[in-house]
Amino acid sequence: MSEIQASLEAAARFITENEHFLVVNHVNPDGDATGSLLAMGWLLKQLGKQVTLVNEGTTPDKFMFLPGAMGIENADAVKEVTSHDVVITCDCADFSRVGRVEDWFAEGYHLLNIDHHPTNDLFGTVNLVRVDAAATAEVIFDLIQHMEVELTQELATCLYTGLLTDTGGFRYSNTTPHVMQAASSLLSHGVAPGAIAERVLEAITKPHLELLKRALQTLEFTDEDQVASMTVTLADMRETGAAGEDTEGLVNYARNVEGIEVGILYKEVPDGKIKVSMRSRSQVDVAAIATAFGGGGHVRASGCTIHGSIEEAKKRVEEKVSEALQEAGRRG
């Protein structure tokens, strides 16, 4: 049996051998995290299991159209925590990504870790981690095939949304033949591609637009115009009425400038911390840089959180980015 088959088998066993599941995705969930969480919910319910779906905070508005999204619990809003001993994490590169949902885990819990980040540190009792997958939704698609579970329209819609968002609308280099085969199969199970793309890729909120106007004014080019960075402060968030999800995609404006290798967004968050989002074009491994600051992600898209002011975070990150650019230059 190949390693992939063995991990699919172990994950299938984890599911069949247990009855009550707590399923969690990462803090500040994106389309893949939300789609994967909901897909696991539908899969488990189809198998007659009891399921609780939870996130540390609220699910972004733009994913509330997904079937089952109303049923995701907001850990922040729940006063009485119930503990669970069987847990499944979706799209979490490391344990800390579950955030405060950690308080919902019983002592001696068993955990199935389903993910696709190369920086995943295999924190599960069982790990279904495929770094060649574009999205956690793709890994779950394979698990569903492996378990010979029927693809319903609900499942297909959730999985398709994960694939669509983590491939940037089937544009990034992670858009493999397997991604397209999976998408094709999902489309034949009732997915409405136009409506989903409209909702999760095309539609922009007014606060997002206001933030973009401000962020563009902070755009700064360094390292001989190989790096472009932007900043968003707490005041910007407050004054534009933006929610956390409204900063999503801003970093691409920096990264997409012709000739730029690394695009960075420094976003001030509460408690004296800066959330750093990094995107690279073709040479710099931004996952390695994020990992150096306790974060993680993918070679071309990563993130981390740094204590201090925007200026301090900038100084520390830019030093590492400059080193990485010099290293890439030496490699040619």
- Smallest distance, Å, CB 88 to Mn ion? 15
Query: Which residue, 115 or 236, has its beta carbon nearer to Mn ion?
Result: 115
Q: Find the binder of ligand AMP among 264, 301, 310, 324 (CB under 6 A).
A: 301
Binding site for Mn ion (CB under 5 A): 30, 32-33, 91, 135-136, 166
**Rounded Cα distance, 62 and 83, in Å:** 29
Judged by CB under 6 A, does residue 297 bind ligand AMP?
yes
- By the 8 A CB rule, do 268 and 234 touch? yes
Measured from the CB atom, the residue of 53 and 90 that comes closer to ligand AMP is 90
Least distance (Å) from ligand AMP to the CB of residue 263? Answer: 10
Place of tokens 């694939």: 163
* Number of residues lying near ligand AMP (CB under 6 A): 12
Secondary structure element (H or E) that encloses residue 263, with its range: strand 262-269
Q: Which of 270, 68, 72, 255 is nearest to 155 (CA)?
A: 68
Which H helix or E strand runs over 73?
A: strand 73-74
Residue type, 53: L
Paired tokens of 17: 């051998």
Answer yes or no whether residue 247 interacts with ligand AMP by CB under 6 A: no
End-to-end CA distance of the chain: 40
In the list ligand AMP, Mn ion, none, the entry touching 298 (Cβ below 5 to 8 angstroms by class) is: ligand AMP
Distance CA(124)–CA(71), nearest Å, equals 25
User: Is residue 99 part of the contact set for ligand AMP (CB under 6 A)?
Assistant: no
x/- mask, ligand AMP, residues 273-292, rule CB under 6 A, reads ----x---------------
Confirm or reject binding of residue 128 to ligand AMP (CB under 6 A). no
Return the number of the residue (207 or 297) whose C-beta is nearest Mn ion.
297
Q: Tokens 């909702």 correspond to what residue?
A: 199
By C-alpha distance, which of 158, 127, 145 is closest to 32? 158
Nearer to ligand AMP, 66 or 264 (CB): 264
Closest-approach residue to Mn ion (CB): 32
Strand, helix or coil at 74? strand
Out of 84, 208, 214, 298, the only residue in the binding site for ligand AMP (CB under 6 A) is 298
CB of 206 to ligand AMP, least distance (A): 21
CB 230, CB 249: distance < 8 Å = no
- The answer to whether 328 and 283 have CB atoms below 8 angstroms apart is yes
Tokens of 30: 């994106």
Contact between 295 and ligand AMP per CB under 6 A: yes
DSSP track, 41-72: HHHHHHTT-EEEEEESSPPPGGGTTSTTGGG-
Options 48-56, 75-83, 125-133, 301-309: segment touching ligand AMP (CB under 6 A): 301-309
In the shown chain, the binding pattern of residues 25 to 64 toward ligand AMP, with x for contact by CB under 6 A and - for none, equals ----------------------------------------
Residues that bind ligand AMP (CB under 6 A): 93, 97, 277, 295-298, 301-305
